[in-house]
């Protein structure tokens, strides 16, 4: 007997539908849940895909089922093996696996052709000679049926013409194969849709074997049926295509997969058009698909997002059947929550000025204890060296400070994190009036861990020892776009200025989206950290080690600040 299924916790509406399907009398009673994720290999996966692949793989996992990975390479003009490899790597990074169930839509071209012939033989498909322009003219309107003078061609003539289309006897665009459904349907997708078109294009897997290619609406239900997919989970724009999906299943008598739709992920300050993102890459407006400002999964990975942070975000927004524009700040808050738990704390100075402790013995070095992660004491401590000359943040000093300034200023005490309480005694300036050195005196009885350290001091600042730190490059990344809805703004700029997409996009790019600081200092404990290590630069933000980092010159990327600066700006 099948083990009784326990009720799911935190179910969404799709879970509820699937439970109905699996229940006694349901359409898939006694069957194993089987889903698929079908990305087009025409670009890198982005944050929008995360929602789809999470629901595809995650739903199968939740119900103890299977999920296939299928490359939708039915369109020969867009595919690239680089993208295929990148898609697989991104899905694995997110923690999902398809086992031995990796397919290409083009694997089924022979079956697609056979099913098309079957439709013709049943009188449910015909070859149409309307050109693309004529097709638009004859499509009709609401209350006005579409027309095709070729709809009543005899079956034998259609079979002959379709075979000759396959054999390359006709020019590209001169003929199509259309399903014979309902030219007066209120759903325009059902008005005898094109299911095959002639394209003389080289296919990345099939080579030049085919010059006719199936449309996705036709190939989709066939691919699902051949793989035994129970639940075909699609984004909301496919809702109007579901009657066509069901029509092909019924007309061909194939495995009855069922399509459900959910709202796609929309995010403020984010552009998700792969065509637009490709243009940014090709024109050098960004450093590549994995530029940390890009919304691609590989871009987020390089920036320092963890897989868990993305899953946390997807869980926060949930699954619905209505479109919503989600706040980018919500994604960043999920990242902060996750990194607060996993990031190793280190000290780094990004805008350095020298701090000299005038009463500290010259040549003396002390090893101070620094906690690796206060959220996980079991991760232990590490040593940070303390000496007479330190680097501190320039912004942590003010020569003439207001009353509520609690950092370094003449006559005021401040705590050096993990070390001593010091009192500022002054500073030194160059001829241009710039501060080059800050001076202070320390109290030897206030070392961290000693009773004297309990003295109340309102300000704490971080530091690194000048003689015991590493020089590093720090890249401060921020949002790529300076407008909340770049998709709509792009259209408005193009219309107003009659310009191309790239020109409009360049106008929207945030000039502060990347700020490179070439001369920063970080404690030497970070020396052995590998690319993608998760760090918190104390008092500054979350960072990670970039792939450009070398032992000679470490490079760090800012993942996200400790606080939501954009939220304050936009209030």
Active site residues: 40, 264, 274
Q: Which residues of 375-391 are buried (b: 16+ CB within 10 A; e: fewer)?
A: eeeeeeebebbbbbebb
Q: Are 311 and 300 in contact (CB under 8 A)?
A: no
At residue 346, what are phi and psi to the nearest 5 degrees?
Answer: -140, 165
**Which residue intervals of 167-241 are DSSP H helices?**
216-226
Dihedral pair phi/psi, residue 556, rounded to 5°: -125, 145
Burial tier of 440 (Cβ tally within 10 Å: 0-12, 13-18, 19+) = buried
Nearest residue to 32 via CA among 63, 77, 2: 63
Contact between 359 and 369 under an 8 Å Cβ cutoff? The reply is no
Residues facing residue 213 across a β-bridge: 197
Of 109, 210, 106, the residue nearest 168 (C-alpha): 210
Can you tell me the distance from the alpha carbon of 327 to that of 539, in angstroms, rounded to the nearest whole number?
25
What token pair was written down for 18? Answer: 């699937």
Q: How far apart are CA 457 and CA 356, in angstroms?
A: 20
- DSSP state at residue 481: B
Q: Which residues, in sequence order, are bridge partners of residue 423?
A: 413, 441
Three-class secondary structure of residue 307 per DSSP: helix
The Cα angle at residue 62 between residues 59 and 68, in degrees rounded to 5: 50
Sequence-distant (6+) residues with CB within 8 A of 507 are 493
Give all strands (DSSP E) within 455-548, no chain letters. 460-461, 464-465, 469-477, 514-523, 534-537, 541-545
Cβ neighbours of residue 460 closer than 8 Å, sequence gap 6 or more: 414, 415, 416, 417
Per the listing, tokens 């690239």 go with 80
**Could you give the C-alpha distances from 341 to 303, 307, 348, 377, 426, in angstroms and in order?**
17, 14, 19, 11, 39
Where does 166-313 show beta strands of DSSP type E? 176-179, 194-198, 212-214, 231-235, 258-262, 266-267
Residue 551 vs residues 251, 349, 383, 481, 554: alpha-carbon distances, Å: 64, 18, 20, 33, 6
Q: Per residue in 270-298, is it b (16+ CB within 10 Å) or e — as a string?
A: bbbebebbeebbeeebbbebbbbbbbbbb
Distances (CA, A) of 24 to 7, 62, 189, 228: 15, 19, 34, 20
Phi, psi torsion values for 259, nearest 5 degrees: -95, 135
């Amino acid at each position: 007997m099948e083990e009784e299924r326990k009720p799911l916790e935190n179910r969404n509406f799709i879970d509820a539908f699937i439970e109905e399907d699996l229940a006694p009398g349901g359409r898939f009673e006694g069957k194993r849940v089987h889903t698929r994720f079908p990305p087009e290999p025409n670009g890198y996966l982005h944050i929008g895909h995360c929602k789809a692949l999470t629901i595809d793989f995650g739903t199968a996992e939740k119900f103890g089922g299977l999920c296939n990975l299928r490359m939708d390479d039915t369109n020969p003009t867009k595919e690239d093996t680089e993208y295929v490899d990148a898609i697989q790597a991104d899905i694995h990074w997110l923690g999902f696996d398809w086992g031995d169930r990796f397919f290409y839509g083009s694997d089924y071209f022979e079956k697609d052709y056979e099913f098309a012939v079957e439709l013709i033989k049943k009188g449910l498909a015909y070859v149409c000679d309307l050109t693309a322009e004529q097709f638009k003219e004859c499509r009709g309107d609401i209350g006005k049926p579409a027309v095709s003078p070729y709809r009543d061609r005899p079956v034998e003539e259609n079979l002959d013409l379709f075979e000759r289309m396959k054999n390359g006897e006709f020019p590209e665009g001169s003929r199509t194969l259309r399903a014979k459904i309902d030219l007066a349907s209120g759903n325009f997708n059902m008005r005898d849709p094109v299911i095959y078109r002639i394209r003389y294009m080289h296919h990345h897997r099939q080579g030049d074997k085919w010059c006719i290619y199936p449309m996705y609406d036709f190939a989709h239900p066939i691919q699902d049926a051949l793989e035994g997919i129970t639940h075909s989970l699609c984004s909301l724009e496919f809702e109007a295509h579901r009657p066509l999906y069901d029509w092909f299943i019924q007309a061909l008598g194939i495995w009855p997969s069922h399509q459900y739709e959910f709202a796609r992920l929309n995010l403020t300050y984010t552009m998700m058009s792969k065509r637009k993102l490709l243009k940014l890459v090709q024109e050098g407006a960004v450093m590549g698909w994995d530029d940390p400002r890009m919304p691609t999964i590989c871009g987020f990975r390089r920036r320092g997002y963890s897989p868990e942070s993305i899953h946390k975000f997807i869980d926060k927004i949930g699954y619905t059947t209505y479109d919503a524009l989600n706040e980018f700040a919500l994604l960043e808050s999920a990242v902060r929550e996750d990194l607060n738990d996993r990031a190793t704390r280190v000290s780094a100075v990004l805008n350095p000025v020298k701090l000299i402790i005038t009463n500290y013995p010259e040549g003396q070095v002390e090893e101070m204890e620094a906690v690796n992660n206060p959220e996980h004491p079991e991760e232990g401590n590490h040593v940070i060296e303390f000496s007479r000359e330190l680097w501190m943040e320039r912004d942590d000093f003010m020569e003439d400070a207001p009353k509520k300034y609690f950092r370094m200023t003449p006559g005021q005490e401040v705590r050096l994190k993990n070390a001593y309480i010091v009192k500022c005694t002054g500073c030194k300036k160059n001829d241009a009036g710039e501060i080059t050195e800050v001076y202070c005196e320390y109290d030897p009885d206030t070392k961290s861990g000693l009773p004297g350290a309990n003295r109340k001091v309102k300000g704490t600042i971080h530091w690194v020892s000048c003689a015991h730190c590493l020089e590093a490059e720090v890249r401060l990344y921020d949002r790529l776009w300076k407008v909340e809805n770049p998709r709509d703004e792009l259209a408005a700029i193009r219309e107003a200025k009659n310009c191309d997409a790239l020109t409009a996009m360049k106008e929207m790019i945030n000039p502060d989206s990347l700020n490179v600081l070439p001369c920063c200092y970080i404690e030497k404990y970070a020396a052995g950290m590998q690319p993608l290590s998760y760090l918190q630069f104390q008092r500054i933000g979350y960072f990670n080690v970039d792939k450009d980092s070398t032992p000679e010159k470490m490079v760090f990327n800012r993942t996200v600040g400790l606080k939501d600066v954009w939220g304050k700006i936009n209030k």
